[in-house]
Amino acid sequence: MSGQNKINRRRFLALTGGAVGVTALACCGLTVLGTRQPAVEFNESVCGGENDMSDKILVAYASGCGSTGEVAEAVGQALCEAGAAVDVRLAKNVTDVSPYRAVIVGSAIRMGRWLPEAVQFVETHREPLSRVPVAYFLGCMTLEDDTEENRRTVAAYLDPVREIVQPVDVGLFAGAMDYSKLSFIFRMMMKMMGTPEGDFRDWESIRAWADGLRPALLGVSIGGNV
């Protein structure tokens, strides 16, 4: 988009911040306080090992408009197909992580940060998480342009939670933007800022990352051998 049509982010906030009362911008999964956002369904699932928690993996996630939840489901499904037992849950609905052998935590990005409920999850469960393998992932529209510079920028968004619990691995994924899931005001904001609509998630890369996690999380190969 040309410079004539695309508004600089800082300039846009200066022009609109007081008028619309917007408190947050997001890379993926966007929320506007004080406006009505269409209802979004957030998935939770159980795959394999319902009666055996000894090797079960938890995939906990925070999502604004559902796209990060779909990434969490894809990660869980890939691990399940490789033989792991997996629970996929909204982070805010998890009260106890101690039964799990390993935990994956993912979130959309808002203003260069994980969503608050994802950060709170790691803070709340710091002690049990520090005793098991943990991996992090994020979904961010910045990675629609998947350059090395953008990946370095986005990787730094995980620094605050790395300081709480150090992960064994991280996944950095592009997000999806569906204007129909945004409030009217926020949809107009995204259009004015030139945020592209579309699904930029690379499902092959997401599944490949999940496949590669299993040895680090459970100490076994994809084939199941120690």
pLDDT of residue 65: 82
Cα–Cα dist 85/58, whole Å:
9
Cα–Cα dist 21/190, whole Å:
15
pLDDT of residue 27: 47
DSSP letter (8 states) at residue 135: E
CA distances (Å), origin 25, targets 15, 89, 103, 112: 14, 24, 28, 9
Angle between helices 203-218 and 67-81 (to 10 degrees): 50
The residue with greater pLDDT, 50 or 153, is 153
Cα–Cα dist 128/98, whole Å:
6
Overall fold of domain 42-178+195-218: Rossmann fold (3.40.50)
Measuring CA to CA, which residue among 84, 88, 85 is closest to residue 70?
A: 88
| C-beta pairs of 12-21 under 8 Å, 24+ apart in sequence | 12/189, 12/192, 12/193, 16/189, 20/185, 20/189
- For the residues 37-57, what does the mean pLDDT come to? 76
Q: Are strands 169-174 and 198-199 parallel, antiparallel or unpaired?
A: unpaired
pLDDT in tens, 7-28: 444 333 333 343 333 333 444 4
CA distances (Å), origin 93, targets 35, 117, 135: 24, 10, 19
Coil, strand or helix at 113? strand
How do the domains of the chain map onto residue ranges? 42-178+195-218
The predicted model scores a pTM of 0.78
Q: Find how far residue 174's CA is from the centre of its chain.
A: 10
Residue type for 173, please? F
- For the residues 117-142, what does the mean pLDDT come to? 97
- For the residues 67-79, what does the mean pLDDT come to? 96
Average pLDDT, the chain: 81
Q: Find how far residue 14's CA is from the centre of its chain.
A: 28
